[in-house]
Amino acid sequence: MKHTHAQSQSKPKQRAGSIKWLIGLMPLTLALGGCANHMGDLTTKVDQILARPGGKIEPIPEMKPLPKYSYTETDARTPFQPAVTQTANKSNGITPDMNRPKEPLEMYPLDALAMKGIIQRKGITFALVRDGDGVIHEVQVGNYMGLNYGKVVKITTDKITLEEIVPDGQGGWRTQSAIVQQNATK
């Protein structure tokens, strides 16, 4: 069979392409061969784990039935009804002023506030109160503090007395007294 000049030139190009392809495969072959060498240790470890005897599983404990209880209705108030009727406190006239702008110390619960002392200016007594962020505020009778609409009603040398308006749990409101005492540690 005769080869033409064009055919003889294409064979070296094909060989060069084949050699490049083989050279490109060599690193991949070596890398895969290197992984296979470490598989023996893994296989040995898995065989050791599988050869261990299995543990004993405890049986599920037997559940004893609870004693039956029978509810007998009596003339006493049932535990499923509130002790006070809901309409009793709704009409007592106590409600917080929701439209009043909040004062700065109404952003903190009372336990985050600390009375630090008092000052008097022009016959008016002011309490010095440190808020939860460490800022000192001047408070006088009539100002508000705390989260429960607490109005300052009295300031003495060692405490601030508040009148708070809190929910009564029956859909209404009630008042309660609260005190912020002077505390040198806060």
Element holding 181 (H helix, E strand)? strand 173-181
Helix 39-51 to helix 5-37 angle (10° resolution) is 40
Cα Rg of the chain (Å, integer)? 43
Over range 139-154, report the average pLDDT: 95
Domain residues of the chain, as ranges?
5-51, 94-181
* More reliable by pLDDT, 34 or 99: 99
- CATH code at 94-181: 2.30.30.830
What global pTM score does this model have? 0.51
DSSP H helical segments within the chain, as ranges? 5-37, 39-51, 87-90
Which residues lie closer than 8 Å to 18 by C-beta, 6 or more apart? Answer: none
